[in-house]
Chains A and B, each alone.
Chain A
């Protein structure tokens, strides 16, 4: 108990580090919440609406009935923004970061046939580009046809708009699995839980890991070593300290889930899945922190090792990029990493991936295996390290 309390005394004296990583954790959660809708619509995989509005920007140098009519027509079903006050470089940024999926430049004289209409997009052949480029070309074609029929320019613009707004009915055939379609609240819940394995490993290893390293400090280590406590208890006190810190992190994360889950039918239905999975994920993070800090590492190398390991695992396991976009071969490799199973389990609440109780149990089982394996490895490394220290003292 004394050593367990000592862990938190050291944590208190190193509180700056914990606070810093706490702030990082919260900043990242806020970042993920802000980016969640964009992350969902950027992918060409399962989506959340039949016909999403496309982000269109334009520069109209023609100011003709045709160009103004075209912008008016596109504005009906899309988010259209005039960017004539922006530089070419700024427009390039908008397109590259997906803020503008389709940028249109209408040259002076386009309606008379002396200028061109050009577009810029980050993809050449995606579904969204196919749709919006088709709409632009159809509008111009309809306008020209009405012009040939002898209508006035303003009439052509109105008729073309009226014609093109008459569209086919889109229906969705729902699966008979009793699950409702995904809401914006579900998207946020899915993404914060998808990112949680990375965030928890970062917080536990970098934030709390520094305290363990402080415990490894020669001065403190020597004092603990000469106390009448056996090695197992020393190791257990450290592990319990890490696990208690993990428990607090998990409770905070659950609170975040609870607050954001109010608008999420998926959370209301599968809260128990997220509770269990995030708990196991936190325990994996604790075990990972215990394993990394069981080596004789300095503060700097702890940062490097944690960043390399957690970022690499996150990229490969589908934390930052959805798993369905990653190749089969890569996912096979990812199966050897704990984050993969955490992501598979948490993604089951999404209607786009199928809930499978057997597979979920397997995920939980593998996560528990990882916790046991990492904890045992940490205990082994730690005790062999202490053993070496003791034998070194004896030799001296």
Chain B
């Protein structure tokens, strides 16, 4: 329970450390421009591509390659020695990409060519209607006007999808604390173990035994999660927010939920403690898989086609609470998920305590 999530996080840390930065950037691409004929149209486009190829510039998108003919350029593309070819003729631009081109190459090349062609057509339209305005548009064309504003602050930290794997792994570790609940059933149900049989006939109050047994598991469970969170934050650099009250609320609720879930599993399943534990492990593994532990996109797919599933899958509910608390920075989302966790915990505990207390009379 303690080592398992940390061992996995270590593997993830090495695997995913730089992927988000790599995906969230556009590396300059080797590009060839072929001019067919001479004219202002061709010159303007070559100037634009040269501007976007300035080394060291923040806007650099291309690295220009010199090639004599389109055939040579295509050969370079086929050999994967270049990524993009622009063929610019009078009034038209054609883009050539590698067979295995990247999404980025297609998007950037298409976007640059489209913008230039469309701007040129617009200026030509304006020239026919109002030559003075056309001159203004030509002057404005050199300025890069942006209307859209990024809502960067909507997330408390980078919305790095790979962080989900870490959050999900912590939650998986917490969910495996259900084994504590199962061992609690083993300790207290007289028809499961000999030890429980002895407890059952002792003069101590059963209700008290159940509560003490629950607390004896809750405290180390909380301690384990706290240490794991400290390692997550300080060693793996996962953003956990600054609201320690909410974080504490999450830890206590999540651990209580897992133990009480284990109690319910222990009561519902048949066999010895190990067999009950195996069955609970299977349930947890399915729940964790469907919450995106192995494929981070799965909760999103459920959100689109079967949203209710995310609300009833315990691993997803715990993951979402932690996500809203940290990267999501949404108090409303956090409290909604925590309320669900606490509600289920209360129900599970009520059933568990009621059944375990009665066991003294039922199974001996």
Contacts and interface: CB of A to CB of B under 8 A. Distances in A.
Interface stretch (B35-43, B97-105, B202-210, B227-235): B97-105
A125 B301 contact: no
A118 B150 contact: yes
Given A47-B106, A172-B99, A307-B4, A116 B114 contact: no
A236 B191 CA distance: 38
Contacts of B277: 299-300
Prevailing SS type, chain A contact patch: helix
A325 B19 CA distance: 6
B274 A96 contact: no
How many chain B residues sit at the interface, stated as a range, is 35 or more
Contacts of B99: 172-175, 181, 351
Contacts of B110: 51, 131, 167-168, 170
B18 interface: yes
A127 B26 contact: yes
Contact of B101 (A98, A172, A176): A172
Interface string B266-298: 000000001101110110011001100011111
B328 A171 contact: no
A121 to B, nearest CB: 8
B24 A96 contact: no
Given A136-B147, A170-B106, A163 B122 contact: yes
A119 B301 CA distance: 22
A396 interface: no
Nearest to B97: A172
B327 interface: yes
B56 interface: no
Interface residues of A, number: 105
A142 interface: yes
Contacts of B296: 97
Interface string A342-366: 0000000001100000000000000
Given A137-B146, A327-B17, A123 B97 contact: no
Contacts of A123: 23-24
A205 B333 CA distance: 39
A120 interface: yes
A149 interface: yes
A339 B244 CA distance: 40
Interface in B296-334: 296-301, 303-304, 320, 323-324, 327-328, 330, 332-333
Contact of A38 (B105, B152, B164, B300): B300
A260 interface: no
Given A198-B294, A315-B11, A351-B99, A145 B118 contact: no
Interface string A24-35: 100110011011
B282 A35 contact: no
B247 interface: no
B126 A170 contact: no
Interface string A182-196: 000000000000010
Given A98-B300, A164-B118, A312 B8 contact: yes
B274 A299 contact: yes
B117 A167 contact: yes
B121 interface: yes
Interface stretch (A85-93, A226-234, A269-277, A371-379): A85-93
B8 A315 contact: yes
B174 interface: no
Interface stretch (A14-22, A247-255, A282-290): A14-22
A168 B106 CA distance: 11
Given A141-B147, A166-B117, A325-B22, A128 B107 contact: yes
A119 B297 contact: no
Interface in A1-56: 16-17, 20-21, 23-24, 27-28, 31-32, 34-35, 38-39, 41-47, 50-52
B327 A96 contact: yes
Instruction: Please indicate which of the listed interface residues A28, A39, A41, A351 has the most CB atoms of chain B within 10 Å of its own CB.
Output: A28
Interface in A289-326: 298-300, 303-304, 307-308, 311-316, 320-321, 325-326
A133 interface: yes
A320 B289 CA distance: 12
B115 interface: yes
Interface string A204-221: 000000100000000000
Nearest to A20: B282
A27 B104 contact: no
A93 B8 contact: no
A330 B14 contact: yes
A140 B297 contact: no
A315 B15 contact: yes
Contacts of B18: 327
Nearest to A48: B103
Instruction: Please indicate which of the listed interface residues B7, B154, B328 has the most CB atoms of chain A within 10 Å of its own CB.
Output: B154
B65 interface: no
A210 B274 CA distance: 11
A368 interface: no
Given A166-B121, A308-B8, 7 more contacts: A23-B286, A35-B295, A96-B159, A118-B151, A173-B74, A175-B78, A326-B15
A-B interface, 7 closest residue pairs, ranked by CB to CB distance from nearest: A97-B300, A127-B104, A168-B113, A127-B107, A131-B107, A312-B11, A89-B333
22 contacts: A31-B290, A47-B103, A51-B107, A51-B110, A93-B320, A93-B328, A97-B297, A122-B159, A131-B110, A137-B146, A167-B118, A168-B94, A168-B110, A171-B97, A174-B78, A299-B277, A307-B4, A312-B11, A314-B294, A316-B14, A316-B15, A321-B15
